[in-house]
Amino acid sequence: MIPISSVLESREQHFLQTKELLESRQFTLGGNWEYDGGSFDRSLDESHKVWLRIPFEVVAGHIDSGEADNEATIKMGTPYVLKHLYREGNDPEASVRVVGALFDQFQAPTDPDAHIEPKWIDQAKAALDEVERLFPH
């Protein structure tokens, strides 16, 4: 994980407006969000292993991604680049579920904090510069 300094750090924003602006630049609300915080994530590579992440915490209200009248206010954290390496192919430790005999295909990264090449850091900074221009100073 490599932090990137940004003018967005500690900035308080309306959640839905921020979400809309960031989605216009290929960010998604990270799947690990909670009512009191989360992150906006943008994949930097085609295999979805290198990410630019902008974390946030809720300072007023609570977020609900499906609620159109959401009035939550969020405080942006320090953006960072991260790289997750996964096993290619089937996970040999996949567990069989009792009901339905389905395989759990979600695997933990083999290296959740892999080395990040300079080109990804440069690409993340360029994407972050583009995002910063969306927010008035």
Q: What is the pLDDT of residues 49-105, one digit of tens each?
A: 899 999 999 999 888 756 666 789 999 999 999 987 655 555 455 554 444 444 444
- CA gap 52, 77 in Å, rounded: 13
Determine the length of the chain: 137
Which secondary structure element, helix H or strand E, spans residue 115, and what is its range?
A: none
In the chain, the domains with their CATH numbers are 2-132 (3.30.310.100)
Round to whole Å and give the CA distance between 27 and 24: 7
pLDDT digits (tens, 9 = 90+) for 25-41: 999 998 778 888 999 99
Give the whole-angstrom CA distance, residue 12 versus residue 82.
Answer: 24
pLDDT the model gives residue 88: 53
pLDDT exceeds 60 at position 43:
yes
- pLDDT at position 131, please? 95
Distances (CA, A) of 18 to 50, 56, 83, 132: 22, 11, 24, 11
